[in-house]
Amino acid sequence: MKIGIPRALLFYEYSPLWIAFFSNLGAEVVLSEQTNKRVLHQGTQTTVDDACIPVKLYHGHVLNLKDKVDYIFVPRIMGVSKGDFICPKFCGIPEMIKNSLTDIPKMINTTIDFTKTDKHFNDTIIEIGKYITKDENKILSSYDSALSEFNLYKDKLKQGQLPTDTNNINIFESNNRKIMLMGHPYNIYDNFINMNVIKKLRDDQYDVITPEMIDDNITSEYALQYDGKIFWNFARKLIGSCLYEVEKKQIDGMIYICSFGCGIDSIVSEIVERRIRKANIPFMLITIDEHSGEAGFNTRLEAFTDMIKWRHNLENNLSTHG
Amino acid sequence: MEKLYLGIDVGSVSTNVVIIDGNNNIIDKLYIRTMGNPINALKEGLKHAKVKMSELGSDFMISGVGTTGSGRQLAGFMVGADVIKNEITAHAIAASTFIPNVNTILEIGGQDSKIIILKNNVISDFAMNTVCAAGTGSFLDRQAARLGIPIEEFGAHALNSTTDVRIAGRCAVFAESDMIHKQQLGYSKEDIINGLCEALVRNYLNNLAKGKDIKGPIVFQGGVAANIGIKKAFEKALGLEIYVPTHYDVMGAIGSALLAKQEVIQKQKTKFLGLEMADVDFKVKGFECSHCPNVCEVIGIYKDENLSARWGDKCGRWTNINIPSPTV
């Protein structure tokens, strides 16, 4: 049996878990192609106009799996951590897909709530696994081993490897200047929609740090320092990462990538910007949408990295026009 | 032999060419409309520079060239640039060279607007307009044309305003409909133009300059700095004096010439291909690559009919010009 997973939205956070789970159960996992012009085009053509670009890309990725699989995994994500909420688009994505797209394979759209008790969560896992086998013990043991694989993967992230990296690297041993890339995982790891920002920064001799490299317990602890109530899960992750970096002072700049029209980013980027600026760390916000011309993006990126180099040269009393 | 340096800024609306000497004096400057054809605009600029160089005589030579602006890659390839730099860096270099201790640069061009904050002559912060082109030169151009006023005189009309008229400045489409509605109520052109200048400045300050630490000395540059109405509106809103440099319209080109000078002095050589490039036939031919679903729009630059550079492909497969372009 072939299970398709769209390479979009929470894919960049949870895909190793679900790929391992379905594979352990004996299913063949098929991923949609990397985001490309056709995915973007089909996504923007079929999605409701008001949706943000990540949701449009998700539609495109679902279409990309059409005719290739028996089921497409489009879960309804209700919650990922206790006490905070996830953007409503994750709760409504199965309906958006059902109503906007036709002639697509059957969907697995089980409701997933990671904040449920173990007993309840086991029911969720069994419900998903039953699409492949009736053996409940096999389903649960497949999930358990997938979870341990996932935890190993998360350890690798903490050493500085990005979800998009294939080889092992450890940036914390390098002397390069470090730029933190902030934003939702589906913006900072989708190299098509973010105009290959990670490669551009690395080619320019910067190491890239992302919130996923910081342990969830640490970000949650640092997020407690924030004096307002943090409503969204993403907000907690990003604000926590920001406050952690402000204290550790190990980054030379921060670039926040947000998608046009994102309600959560509109508030979080503002909070993060204020804290980062107070710490005298260079900050830049880049808004992305369906652009494919890179000139405007490159101009900003180049000016930002120039600025960091100049500042360093000034501090080292070298030529100011480095 | 005196060494001169060429700076080229190929922007969305104008293409600017300057020549500076070793002491940063402006020997020549030229501001031409790009008119959607950067290659022709640049060739015209180079022809002009050639005439100027022959006037100066054989004691002078161009020893380095820098390009900036959104067409900087194309221009850099055509002339053999020593430095290809983004326009934010170029503007900051130019302003800080000519106006010592400048703290804030307001730059409004054809399609972009920027704010650059400097500390100790080094950029400490900047912002560029994001999704909206309201409050840039193209918008003013369009409104001037609609009112039948030459853009050069547009700003001066604002100074004759007697009544405050508020125009919506958040969006160019909103601004235009608001202007039309106010005009239909009978407000004078002068009042409406003044209202528009104030709206543009309000939009700039609320959007780009939001949260920025604006301190004097403030320099206002870019093509729109010619507009006295906008300058006055900035002064009114900020309560600070705004300084418009003599060569406000070509500051980006000056910055790239300064960068080129520095590069050439350091490297002791130039990649400049010579002003004869003005007479070379440059053509651009594009094709859609069908190798993967990205369907990249690949651009080939032909120099006298010979393919000499190609870009636009994400994967770089067409960068090697020895591979023939597919026949379309």
For residue B208, give the chain A residue with the closest CA. Answer: A285
**Mapping DSSP to helix (H, G, I), strand (E, B) and coil, where does residue B22 land?**
coil
What is the spatial distance between Cα B209 and Cα A157, in angstroms, rounded to a whole number? 36
Does A299 sit within 8 Å of B70, measured CB to CB? yes
Q: Which of A42, A64, A307, A313 to mutate to test the interface with B (most CBs of B within 10 A)?
A: A307
Q: Which residues of chain A have pLDDT under 50?
A: 319-322
What is the spatial distance between Cα A112 and Cα A78, in angstroms, rounded to a whole number? 6
**Closest CA of chain B from A289, distance in Å:** 9
- The domains found in chain A, sorted by start residue, are 2-157 (3.40.50), 162-315 (3.40.50.11900)
Q: Which residues of chain B have pLDDT under 70?
A: 130-135, 328
What is the spatial distance between Cα A172 and Cα A138, in angstroms, rounded to a whole number? 39
Contacts A–B by Cβ distance under 8 A? 68
Residue B235 CB neighbours (<10 A): 15
Q: Which of B5, B107, B121, B122 to mutate to test the interface with A (most CBs of A within 10 A)?
A: B122
How big is chain B by its Cα radius of gyration, in Å? 22
User: Which chain A positions have a beta carbon within 8 Å of B292's beta carbon?
Assistant: 36
User: Which chain A positions have a beta carbon within 8 Å of B123's beta carbon?
Assistant: 303, 306-307, 310
Q: Which residues of B touch A (CB under 8 A)?
A: 70, 85-89, 93, 112, 120-126, 128, 130-131, 211, 259, 262, 292-296, 314
Does B123 sit within 8 Å of A303, measured CB to CB? yes
What is the spatial distance between Cα A281 and Cα A267, in angstroms, rounded to a whole number? 19
**Closest CA of chain A from B121, distance in Å:** 8
Q: Say whether the peptide bond before residue A163 is cis (omega within 30 degrees of 0).
A: no
C-alpha closest to that of A184 among A13, A7, A4, A25: A13
**Predicted local confidence at residue A322, as pLDDT:** 43
Q: Is A310 on the interface with B (CB under 8 A)?
A: yes
Buried b (16+ CB within 10 A) or exposed e, B151-166: beebbebbeebeeebe
Angle between helices B151-159 and B228-238 in degrees, nearest 10:
40
Does B87 sit within 8 Å of A37, measured CB to CB? no
What separation, in Å, do the N-terminal and C-terminal C-alpha atoms of chain B show? 50
What is the spatial distance between Cα A138 and Cα A24, in angstroms, rounded to a whole number? 9
* Contact by Cβ (8 Å): B162, B246: no
* Contact by Cβ (8 Å): A197, A168: no
**Closest CA of chain A from B19, distance in Å:** 20
Residue tagged 């970096």 (tokens): A245
Question: DSSP string of B47-88?
Answer: HHHHHHHHHH-TTEEEEEEEEESTTHHHHHHHHT-SEE--HH
Q: Is A298 on the interface with B (CB under 8 A)?
A: yes
* Contact by Cβ (8 Å): A234, A268: yes
Question: What is the strand order of the sheet A28-31 is part of?
Answer: A28-31, A2-5, A71-73, A106-108
Buried b (16+ CB within 10 A) or exposed e, B41-73: bbbbbbbbbbebbeeeeeebebbbbbbbbbbbb
**Closest CA of chain B from A136, distance in Å:** 41
C-alpha closest to that of B154 among B198, B193, B180, B187: B193
CA dihedral sign, ordered B178, B184, B185, B190 = positive
DSSP state of A86: -
Does B88 sit within 8 Å of A299, measured CB to CB? yes
Does A306 sit within 8 Å of B89, measured CB to CB? yes
Among candidates A33, A277, A314 on the partner chain, residue whose Cβ is nearest the Cβ of B120: A314
Residue A249 CB neighbours (<10 A): 10
**Predicted local confidence at residue A82, as pLDDT:** 82
ipTM, 2 dp:
0.81
CA dihedral sign, ordered B13, B17, B20, B25 = negative
Among candidates B89, B262, B293 on the partner chain, residue whose Cβ is nearest the Cβ of A36: B293
Q: Which of A32, A37, A320 to mutate to test the interface with B (most CBs of B within 10 A)?
A: A37
User: Which chain A positions have a beta carbon within 8 Å of B121's beta carbon?
Assistant: 320
**Predicted local confidence at residue A319, as pLDDT:** 46
What is the spatial distance between Cα A1 and Cα A6, in angstroms, rounded to a whole number? 17
Burial class (CB within 10 angstroms; exposed 0-12, middle 13-18, buried 19+) of A204: middle
DSSP state of B263: H
Q: Calculate the CA A203 to chain-centre distance.
A: 22
What is the spatial distance between Cα B100 and Cα B120, in angstroms, rounded to a whole number? 9
What is the spatial distance between Cα B157 and Cα A286, in angstroms, rounded to a whole number? 37
**Mapping DSSP to helix (H, G, I), strand (E, B) and coil, where does residue A85 land?**
strand
Does B211 sit within 8 Å of A306, measured CB to CB? no
C-alpha closest to that of A80 among A225, A232, A273, A215: A232
Does B88 sit within 8 Å of A310, measured CB to CB? no
Q: Tokens representing B291?
A: 């190798």
Amino acid at B110: G
**Predicted local confidence at residue A320, as pLDDT:** 45
Q: What are phi and psi of A321, to 5 degrees?
A: -110, 40
Q: Which residues pair with B105 in a beta bridge?
A: B116, B219
Q: What are phi and psi of B214, to 5 degrees?
A: -85, 120
C-alpha closest to that of B272 among B62, B44, B60, B68: B62
Residues in chain A: 322
Among candidates A37, A295, A306 on the partner chain, residue whose Cβ is nearest the Cβ of B70: A295
What is the spatial distance between Cα A201 and Cα A203, in angstroms, rounded to a whole number? 5
Q: Helix (H) and strand (E) counts for chain A? A: 12, 10
User: How do beta strands B104-108 and A283-288 pair?
Assistant: unpaired
For residue A261, give the chain B residue with the closest CA. Answer: B131
Question: What is the strand order of the sheet B14-21 is part of?
Answer: B26-33, B14-21, B2-10, B60-68, B83-84
User: Which chain B positions have a beta carbon within 8 Å of A283's beta carbon?
Assistant: 125
User: Which chain A positions have a beta carbon within 8 Å of B259's beta carbon?
Assistant: 321
Interface of A with B in 234-293 (CB under 8 A): 260, 273-274, 277, 282-283, 287, 289
Among candidates A277, A295, A303 on the partner chain, residue whose Cβ is nearest the Cβ of B89: A303
Does A295 sit within 8 Å of B124, measured CB to CB? no
Does B294 sit within 8 Å of A307, measured CB to CB? no
What is the spatial distance between Cα A272 and Cα A239, in angstroms, rounded to a whole number? 6
Contacts for B34-38: CB closer than 8 Å, 24+ residues apart: B34/B10, B34/B71, B38/B10, B38/B71, B38/B74, B38/B75
Buried b (16+ CB within 10 A) or exposed e, A155-192: ebbeebbbbeeeeebebeeeeebbbbbbbbbbbbbbbb
What is the spatial distance between Cα B12 and Cα B112, in angstroms, rounded to a whole number? 9
Q: Which of B130, B210, B212, B267 to mutate to test the interface with A (most CBs of A within 10 A)?
A: B130
User: Which chain A positions have a beta carbon within 8 Å of B295's beta carbon?
Assistant: 37-38
C-alpha closest to that of B28 among B4, B58, B9: B4
* Contact by Cβ (8 Å): B250, B18: yes
Does B123 sit within 8 Å of A307, measured CB to CB? yes
User: Which chain B positions have a beta carbon within 8 Å of A311's beta carbon?
Assistant: 122, 124
User: How do beta strands B122-128 and B218-221 pair?
Assistant: unpaired
Does A321 sit within 8 Å of B124, measured CB to CB? no
Q: Which residues pair with B117 in a beta bridge?
A: B104, B125
Does A299 sit within 8 Å of B123, measured CB to CB? no
